[in-house]
Every structure is written in structure tokens, then in C-alpha cells.
């Protein structure tokens, strides 16, 4: 059973964080090239054809990668997560509009012991549990850094969306909660134009 769980986690990690697929690399000089790419440890690995050697790119030369195929696409961009970060990190683009929404996903590992069994029970071994977690960031085009809405959700979201009174009211009334960050950004882009409501 443990082997099956580990295999599932390894497979999930490969799909999330690195598996060569059809992609377009986006360069800082506004050019782009189609080929095959993957993302590993905050770096883009890319080649034009499967016969070519893989080259490594970071934010100095490229600003993102778009995976394509099977009728859909996924866009990943280098974004500075806050004003304290020296380097940008790669995030998935979920929404583009007056406010752009980005997601940084990661897998955490923790150990678990059955509380109903004695600590000295030989059958009460540590079990590794893997959690898939995401942090959501928002950023307007004129902002140099993104804002983490997952951390101190209510404080940060009310401050960030203060130019849209109706949305702030929904957050304060708990019609929108931390689990609704994606819907909040969609709502803002659909119903708030970035100007103070009358």
C-alpha cells in the first residue's frame, strides 16, 4: 500500500512540477518560440525539437512558458511574490484582467501516528501523509510585486479590493471566504472596473 501511495505522489509531482510537453517559451524581448518544455525548481527547460539538446532558462532571459496540447493551455510566468523577495518565482496564471490571479502549488509531507493505538505498539508505525496545497497571489499590471491573498485573507483582500465597495461588503459579510479566492478575482474583473463605485 505504501508503495502505491508513493507512486501516486511521484506521478502527481511529475505532472505538477516537471514533465516535458509541447510548449511555447516567452522571452523578455517579447519574442517566443514553440517547442517542448518543462519547469523544475523555478527554472524553465526547453528545446525546439525532441532531437535538440535541452537548454535551461531563468527570469533573466525568459518570463514564462505556455504549455499546450489536448485542447487546452496552461500559462506559467515569473512573478515577484512580494516586495521582500529578491527573485521572481514561477506561478500558474489562473485569470488575466484588471487583476491577474496566480497560483503557486506545492506538496507538503507530514507524518501521522494513529492516536487510538499505544505509542509502544509495534503496529503503530509512522505513516507519511502528502498534502497538495496552493497559495494564491494577485497583481495589477502597474504593480511590481504580487500580493498573497492566502495569508491573512480578510485583511489583505479587503485592503487589496478596497476600490470595489460591493466586493468588500461581500468579504466582510463572509459571502466570499478564503476558499473563494478564485471566484473573488473573477467577480472583481467582471463587476469592478478598478475605480471607486458610486
Boundaries of domain holding 26? 1-74
68 and 125 housed in the same domain: no
pLDDT at 125: 62
pLDDT at 104: 94
For the ranges 3-17, 42-56, 72-86, the one whose mean pLDDT is highest: 42-56
| Domain-terminating residue out of 74, 90, 110 | 74
102 and 127 housed in the same domain: yes
pLDDT at position 198 over 50? no
CB atoms within 10 A of CB 178: 15
pLDDT at 85: 85
The mean predicted confidence, pLDDT, of the chain is: 85
104 and 196 housed in the same domain: yes
| Domain-terminating residue out of 32, 54, 74 | 74
Cβ neighbours of residue 128 closer than 8 Å, sequence gap 6 or more: 2, 5, 109, 110, 111, 112
87 and 166 housed in the same domain: yes
60 and 85 housed in the same domain: no
58 and 86 housed in the same domain: no
Q: What is the pLDDT of residues 29-68, one digit of tens each?
A: 999 999 999 999 999 999 999 999 999 999 999 999 999 9
Residue 88 phi/psi, 5° resolution? Answer: -75, 160
62 and 86 housed in the same domain: no
19 and 69 housed in the same domain: yes
pLDDT at position 1 over 90? no
C-alpha cell at 83: 516586495
Whether 193 and 98 have beta carbons less than 8 Å apart is answered as yes
| C-alpha torsion 160→83→89→87, nearest 10 | 170
Pairing of strands 62-69, 147-148: unpaired
92 and 161 housed in the same domain: yes
Look at the block and give the residue holding cell 466586493: 167
90 and 10 housed in the same domain: no
Q: What is the pLDDT of residues 92-146, one digit of tens each?
A: 999 999 999 999 988 777 666 566 665 555 555 666 667 778 999 999 999 999 9
90 and 158 housed in the same domain: yes
pLDDT at 108: 73
Domain count, the chain: 2
85 and 183 housed in the same domain: yes
For residue 158, name the pLDDT band (cuts at 50, 70, 90).
Answer: very high
pLDDT at 15: 44
Q: What is the pLDDT of residues 81-95, one digit of tens each?
A: 988 888 999 999 999
Whether 128 and 162 have beta carbons less than 8 Å apart is answered as no
Which of 76, 33, 80 lies closest to 55, judged by CA? Answer: 33
Q: What is the pLDDT of residues 167-190, one digit of tens each?
A: 999 999 999 999 999 999 999 999
Look at the block and give the residue holding cell 485542447: 71
pLDDT at 43: 95
| Domain-terminating residue out of 74, 108, 136 | 74
pLDDT at 126: 65
Amino acid at each position: 500500500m505504501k508503495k502505491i501511495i508513493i507512486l501516486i505522489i511521484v506521478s502527481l509531482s511529475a505532472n505538477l512540477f516537471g514533465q516535458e510537453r509541447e510548449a511555447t517559451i516567452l522571452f523578455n524581448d517579447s519574442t517566443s518560440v514553440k517547442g517542448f518544455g518543462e519547469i523544475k525548481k523555478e527554472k524553465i527547460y526547453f528545446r525546439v525539437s525532441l532531437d535538440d539538446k535541452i537548454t535551461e532558462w531563468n527570469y533573466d532571459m525568459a518570463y514564462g512558458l505556455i504549455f499546450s496540447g489536448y485542447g487546452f493551455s496552461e500559462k506559467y510566468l515569473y512573478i515577484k511574490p512580494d516586495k521582500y523577495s529578491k527573485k521572481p518565482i514561477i506561478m500558474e496564471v489562473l485569470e488575466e484582467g484588471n487583476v491577474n490571479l496566480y497560483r503557486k502549488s506545492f506538496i507538503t509531507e507530514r507524518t501521522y501516528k494513529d492516536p487510538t493505538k499505544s505509542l509502544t505498539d509495534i503496529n503503530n508505525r509512522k505513516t507519511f501523509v502528502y498534502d497538495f496545497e496552493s497559495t494564491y497571489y494577485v497583481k495589477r499590471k502597474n504593480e511590481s510585486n504580487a500580493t498573497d491573498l492566502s495569508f491573512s485573507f480578510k485583511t489583505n483582500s479587503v485592503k487589496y479590493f478596497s476600490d470595489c465597495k460591493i466586493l468588500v461588503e461581500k468579504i466582510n459579510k463572509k459571502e466570499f471566504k478564503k476558499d473563494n479566492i478564485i471566484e473573488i478575482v473573477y467577480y472583481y474583473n467582471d463587476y469592478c472596473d478598478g475605480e471607486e463605485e458610486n
